[in-house]
A and B are shown apart, each in its own frame.
Chain A
C-alpha cells in the first residue's frame, strides 16, 4: 500500500492505495465520489472522465498513486458555489442533453475541457472532441446542442424545430 495525498474538488485527502488501484476506483470506493462512472474496461467510453491538474483524463487510465499531489476535479465539484448548476450542467438540462445519465458526468467533464481550450467550438469540433465519450441514449444531437448553448452560441430551442 502507498499513501497518497491529493486535492479533490478543493478538499485535501490522504489515503492508502494499492499499487494497482485505478484513480476511478479510488474516487468511487475510497472517497465515495460515485458520480464518476465505469462503463467499459478498455478506456473507450469516457464515463470516468475527470480533470487532473486541469487536464481531461479518463480515470481508468491512471493509477491513484500517479495522482499523488495532483489537483483532481470530478463531477461532484462542478456546480456553482451556491449549489446551482453551472453553465454547462444547466445547458445539458435545458437542451435535454442526457437521458439515463450514466455517461453524463463524463460528458460534462469532457465538455468543460473543450470549452476551456476552445470557447466557441463548431459543431464539427464538438463532435470530434466527443469521440472518446460514448452515449447510447441521446444520439448526441442534444449533447452537441447543449455544448453549443453553453458556449453562448445560438442553437434552436428544444422541441421548437
Chain B
C-alpha cells in the first residue's frame, strides 16, 4: 500500500515572502510611522533583553567558579588524594561525581529565573505571517513579525 504524496499548498503571500529569502531583513526595521505603542513595545523588549543578559552573565560566573574552583582546589590540595571515603580517594570522588549535581542546580535556577523574566514581560512578538513554522516549504528565513503585528497581550 502506498500513501498518496502530500502536496503543499501555499498562499501567494507565502510564495512572495519565500522568493526574497536573501534580501536583508527589512522586516525587522521599525515602521517609519511608529506610534507610541510601538515605542513602548520596543522599550519593554529592551528591558527584557537587559534582564536576560544580566542573568546569563550571573549563570556563566557561577559555572566558571564551579569548574575552575573545583579543579583549582584539587590542584592546590594534593592531600585530598590520600583521604579516603568508602575506600575511594576523596579527590577522585569530587572529580567523578561532585560537579554533576551542582551543574544541574545552576541550570535549573537559570531556566526558572529566565522564565520568570519572560512571564513578567507584558509585550510579545506575535508569531504570524509566512514562515517555515506556519507550513511554508523548506524556508530558511525566520518567522518574522510583520509591521505593527505586535501588541499587548495582557
Are A and B part of the same complex? Answer: no
